[in-house]
Amino acid sequence: MNMTPTSPEQERMKLLEDAAEHWGEALFRFAALRCASRSDAEDVVQEAFLRFATATTPVRSAKAYLFRMVANGCNDLLRRRHPTEQLPPTLVSDEEERTLEAEARRLGTLLDRLPAEQAEVIRLHTFASMRFTEIAETLELPASTVKSRFHYGIERLKALI
C-alpha cells in the first residue's frame, strides 16, 4: 500500500482526469449543440478543462464548475460572432458531423427564440443531462427557479413548434 502524500497539484490533476473521463463527452455534446461547430466545441471544452486545472480557488463541484465554464465559453464565442454571420462551411466528410451541425442549427434557432435564462436551463437539462439540482448549483439559483424556467421554456417551445 502506497502511503505517499499527494500534493494539491496531484489531487487537482486526478480530479481533472476523473472529470474528463466522466463528463468529457457530455461537455463536448453540450458545447457542440451550442456552438454548432465541432472545432469551436473542442476549443471551448479544452479551455474549460484548462481553467479547471489552473483554478486557484477550491472547486466545490467539478461537474458544475466545468459545465458553467463551457456555458460561459459558448456564450462568449456566440457573442463575438456577428448576429447575421453564418458559420463557416466545414469540410465534413462524415454523415454524423453533418447531422450534428444541422441538428444544432435547428435546435439553436428554436432556443434562440426563448429568453436566454430559459434556453440555458433547457440546454443544461437536455443536452448535458444535468438534474435540476445540479443546474441550480451551476447557475447559483434556487432549484425552484430552475424548474420554472425549464417548464416555461418547454411550454414556449411547444407553442413555437
Q: Under a CB-based contact definition with an 8 Å cutoff, are residues 67 and 124 in contact? A: yes
Distance, CA of 59 to chain centre:
17
The angle, 0 to 180 degrees and rounded to 10, between the axes of the packed helices 132-139 and 143-160 is 110
SS3 state at 62: helix
pTM over 0.85? The answer is: no
Q: Under a CB-based contact definition with an 8 Å cutoff, are residues 63 and 23 in contact? A: yes
pLDDT digits (tens, 9 = 90+) for 7-35: 767 777 788 888 888 888 889 888 888 88
Check residues 95 and 82 and name the one with the higher pLDDT.
Answer: 95
Percent of the chain whose predicted confidence (pLDDT) is above 70: 85
Check residues 86 and 156 and name the one with the higher pLDDT.
Answer: 156
pLDDT digits (tens, 9 = 90+) for 128-155: 778 899 889 888 899 999 999 999 999 9
Residue 16 is predicted with a pLDDT of 82
Q: How confident is the model at residue 48 (pLDDT cuts 50, 70, 90)?
A: very high
* Domains located in the chain, CATH noted: 8-82+94-160 (1.20.140)
Dihedral (Cα; 74, 80, 83, 88), 10-degree rounding: -80
Task: Pick the most confident of 6-20, 40-54, 77-91.
Answer: 40-54
Q: Three cell numbers at 61?
A: 463541484
pLDDT digits (tens, 9 = 90+) for 101-115: 777 778 778 888 999
Residue-by-residue DSSP string for 67-96: HHHHHHHHHHHHHHS-TTPPPPP----SHH
Span of 47-51, 56-60, 119-123, 144-148 with lowest mean pLDDT: 56-60
Q: How confident is the model at residue 61 (pLDDT cuts 50, 70, 90)?
A: confident
**Run of H or E residues at 152:** helix 143-160
Q: How far is 48 from 51, CA to CA, in rounded Å?
A: 5
